[in-house]
Amino acid sequence: MLQSTAVPLPIENVDTDQIIPARFLKATERKGFGDNLFRDWRYNQDNTPKADFVLNNPTFSGKILVGGKNFGSGSSREHAAWAVYDYGFRCVVSSFFADIFKNNCLNIGVLPVQVSESFLSLIFDAIEKNPNTSMTVDLPNQTITLDEIGKHENFDINPYKKENLQNGYDDIDYLLNLKEQIKDFAQNRPF
């Protein structure tokens, strides 16, 4: 369960090169990516903040990022999900997600919540009217609620992934338990 205000980014097709440009992918550890989240939308070339970008606007804050349709398209860089997490977001809401970004989020503990176009508009409108609009994301019941007006919508999540997120389980632990079965399988591969 997550209750928080949200940061609105009503732009469609936000690609992973915007979320974190390639020149910031040179680390060999998972550290500090949040500083470069939306780097080129957030900072001028002289590294001064761009006043009109939402992350530089103190009116908006929270653990939920709300993006336009087709969020996270482009490259497979998990660094994009790391940057979102490291900045402090724990949930991204959009009406449509790119596949790899969505998988990456689920694998690192950011919950991607896909809502209808109309509910997404409702969220953007509510935040525009009141930047302190609070939302509740309820993973066990798979609902997202605009708290002030009480409107909610259900969202989908794979039951296996849901269980992992809720219990902090890990795919690799699961796979390591299958090791003997995997080895048997590998022996029969033709190449």
Q: Does 34 bind other proteins (CB under 8 A)?
A: no
Nearest approach in angstroms of CB 188 to other proteins is 10
Q: Closest Cα partner for 87 from 50, 107, 62?
A: 62
* Positions in 164-183 near other proteins (CB under 8 A): 171-172, 174-176, 178-179, 181-182
Q: Does 99 bind other proteins (CB under 8 A)?
A: yes
* Structure token pair of residue 3: 């209750």
Nearest approach in angstroms of CB 147 to other proteins is 27
List of residues contacting other proteins (CB under 8 A):
10-13, 15, 17-18, 21-23, 25-30, 40, 45, 68-70, 73-79, 81, 96-100, 103-104, 107-108, 158-161, 171-172, 174-176, 178-179, 181-182, 185-186, 189-191
